[in-house]
Structure 1
Amino acid sequence: MICPHCDASLLRKERPHNVCSKCRRRYALDPKTNPLGLHDLRVRRVVAKITDDGRLPCTPGHLWYALSRRSLRSRPVGGAYVAVTLLGAALLTGGFFAGPAPLAYFGFVLALLALVLCLLAAADRSQGRPKMLPGAFRRDVLEPWVKVYGELPPGVVEDRRYPAPGGASGAGQATTLLCPDLSVATLIAAAGLPERHGLLLVRDLPEVSARGPVIVLHDVSAPGLLLPWRVREALPGRRVIDAGVPLRAVRGVPNAVPYRDHQPGGAVLSRLAEVGDYTSDELAWLRKGWTYPLVAVPPGRLLDAVSRVAERVGRTASADRGRAAAVGFLTWPDEGAP
């Protein structure tokens, strides 16, 4: 491992208790003891990449996904298993036709064992499961980092500081942005999008403004894909804009790496089936708990996408207000006025 302070190359015995034996300075993460194999230099490189060298904010959620992404990829069946299967088949064939019977028996057992191992590897239930969940990431990565360096990596915004819904950043605005993901809501608030576009940023349906359009930002999961429909049912007559990640934009796309979360309930899947927008294969994929989170979208791309939707909704709302003013609709009293 390379010391993040003096750049010395250290063997495991040369860095006891996360202290460099060359410069005697403590570092936060050791790849031999961290479940994700992390070290301080890699964390800094990843933070620099997702924040565009500090020009954009990111949150612990974005950092968790970026550092977990490599381990989330489905693992192909090992080449060694395949080679052993072929060897066993060759021994079985040779022993059956030309060799002694024990050789054929041995080949049969070897081929059968390797085949079973191949099938178990292909059906591995741990595939797509995060090695470290967000809570453990905070405990085992962020807390040691803060203990050593006194703060989160530069550019990482603490998502525990998410502003209270309905606060000054968006109170009284005509358009609501509903985003259940804490990390993404924090990113949007930190980037100043509510003030720039006149948005009320909320995380739950009961917090949605009493009037105006609602932009729904969601992940690719069974509950996430159902959220816009839930909002439309709860707010009949309101304009609801689905600004979430489309399922077909990520499923089967090599660079889009989902992970497996809790399996959704039957009621959620039944409702999605009733919607009629998803094939049986897509519903089966969602039933297994596959999820593509919003934090998987790089912060720059996500903020650009939200800004474009907010600008489009704002232009439409302005045009509607202009048409209403021409016929005197804006002289109507507010709801609840005497």
Structure 2
Amino acid sequence: MICPHCAQSLLLKERPGNRCSKCGRLYAFDPKTNPLGLNDLRVVRIASALTDRGQLSCTAGQLWYALARRSLRESHGKLGCAVALIFLGTVVGILGLGTGVGIAQAGGLLALLAAAGFVVAHVMGVGRGKPRIERSSFCTVSLARWQIVYGSLPSGILDDARYPPRREGAAQRTLVLCRDRSIAVFLHNAGLDVVSEPSQLSGDGPVLVLHDADAAGVLFAHWARGAYPGRVVIDVGVPVGAVFGVRKAVPVRGERPGADVVTSLKSLAASGELSAGQVKWLERGWGFPLVGVPPAKLLAVVTRAVQQAEARQDAAAVGFLTWPDQPGDQTAPGGRR
């Protein structure tokens, strides 16, 4: 690997204890021991791209997905292990045939069977979509290591675990409801009025609901529509249709939903809101997280939704959406036709 401090190429024996033997300085991540294969230079590069070179502040959760995205595509079945086992099994089996030792032959056969298991696991994508390091561990352990070495988080990255709560007396009339702490912090920092729990909602203005494109997220959006009678509740997404089957949208696989959730999903399929393929995908625990949406795109979508909701609210307040009141009255507001 390349030392992030002196830019020298280091062999494994030249970097004991995450310390460069050439410049003597510590670094945070070693690709040989890090679950995501990270090195410090890659973290800096990805953080810079995520934050648009510092133009936009993002959160630790968003950085986790950006760094884990490559590994989420990969199967946990290692072809390298299969090749090694095939070689070992072949050699042991040949030696066993030559010497007539049955134990050697059995050992060679077992090695070949194990190799076949690795190949099958790789082809079937076993483990694909499962993070090599969980988001919580990345934020509390990996980034803690980074802070020890460098004294702060990567440039442009916010600590979403310690961010202050919602502003009191915020002037925004439209509230964004988002249970993902990382995204709530990201939008809050961008100047939007965000709450992470339904109990924090106040006022009577429009509510924009943000959620993951998974089984729980889809049903949360439906719950929110019925939980606030008299208020305008808008499902901003992430919609399942925007990520299902889309190659660039690398999903995450979690726990399979319970039977009651599956029943609710099937009812949505019956109403035409979800396709049968989407329901099957959600049933298997697949989903796409909000933290996976490119930050600039997410901010643009939410900002536009807030502006549209408030424009409609203003129009309704002056009667624009209900004019004309009586049939045949074609006079526009202000006396103009």
| TM-score, normalization by structure 1 | 0.79
Question: Corresponding residue for 2:187?
Answer: 188
* Matched letter for residue 13 of structure 1: K
Q: State the alpha-carbon separation in 1 of the partners of residues 145 and 288 from structure 2.
A: 28
* Matched letter for residue 239 of structure 1: V
Task: Tell me the SS of whatever aligns to 1:186.
Answer: helix
Q: Tell me the CA shift for residue 52 of structure 1.
A: 0.7
* Matched letter for residue 191 of structure 1: A
Change (3 A) 1:77 1:157: closer
Given the alignment, which residue of 283, 292, 313 partners 1:296?
A: 292
Q: State the alpha-carbon separation in 1 of the partners of residues 298 and 25 from structure 2.
A: 38
Q: State the alpha-carbon separation in 2 of the partners of residues 76 and 150 from structure 1.
A: 34
Q: What percent identity do the matched residue pairs reach? A: 45
* Matched letter for residue 286 of structure 2: W
* Matched letter for residue 183 of structure 2: V
Task: Tell me the SS of whatever aligns to 2:212.
Answer: coil
Q: State the alpha-carbon separation in 1 of the partners of residues 305 and 162 from structure 2.
A: 25
Structure 1 contact 178–201 (Cα < 8 Å) conserved: yes
Change (3 A) 1:17 1:225: same
| Aligned pairs, number | 295
Structure 1 contact 76–122 (Cα < 8 Å) conserved: no
Q: Tell me the CA shift for residue 220 of structure 1.
A: 0.4
* Matched letter for residue 48 of structure 1: S
Given the alignment, which residue of 284, 306, 310 partners 1:314?
A: 310
Structure 2 contact 76–128 (Cα < 8 Å) conserved: no
Structure 2 runs not aligned, ≥5 long: 84-108, 324-337
Residue deviations 1:243-286 (CA, integer Å, cap 9, x gap): 01111111111111001012222222222322321122211110
Asked if residue 278 in structure 1 is aligned to residue 274 in structure 2, the reply is yes
Which aligned pairs between 1:92-111 and structure 2 lie closer than 5 A?
none
Question: Corresponding residue for 1:221?
Answer: 214
Q: Tell me the CA shift for residue 118 of structure 1.
A: 4.9
Which aligned pairs between 1:247-258 and structure 2 lie closer than 5 A?
247-258=240-251
Which aligned pairs between 1:251-266 and structure 2 lie closer than 5 A?
251-266=244-259
Question: Corresponding residue for 1:151?
Answer: 152
Residue deviations 1:166-198 (CA, integer Å, cap 9, x gap): x3363x643221011110111001112x2xxxx
Question: Corresponding residue for 1:168?
Answer: 168
* Matched letter for residue 305 of structure 2: V
* Matched letter for residue 16 of structure 1: P
* Matched letter for residue 311 of structure 2: R
Residue deviations 1:289-326 (CA, integer Å, cap 9, x gap): 112001101111111111110111111111112229x9
Question: Corresponding residue for 1:287?
Answer: 283
Q: State the alpha-carbon separation in 1 of the partners of residues 13 and 77 from structure 2.
A: 34
Task: Tell me the SS of whatever aligns to 2:155.
Answer: coil
Structure 1 runs not aligned, ≥5 long: 83-108, 195-199, 328-338
Q: State the alpha-carbon separation in 2 of the partners of residues 37 and 315 from structure 1.
A: 47
| TM-score, normalization by structure 2 | 0.80
Task: Tell me the SS of whatever aligns to 2:309.
Answer: helix
Q: State the alpha-carbon separation in 2 of the partners of residues 77 and 145 from structure 1.
A: 30
Cα RMSD for the two superposed structures: 2.8
Change (3 A) 1:163 1:3: same
Q: State the alpha-carbon separation in 1 of the partners of residues 206 and 305 from structure 2.
A: 12
Structure 2 contact 215–283 (Cα < 8 Å) conserved: yes
Q: Higher mean Cα deviation, 128-137 or 233-242? A: 233-242
Asked if residue 26 in structure 1 is aligned to residue 19 in structure 2, the reply is no
Structure 2 contact 79–118 (Cα < 8 Å) conserved: no
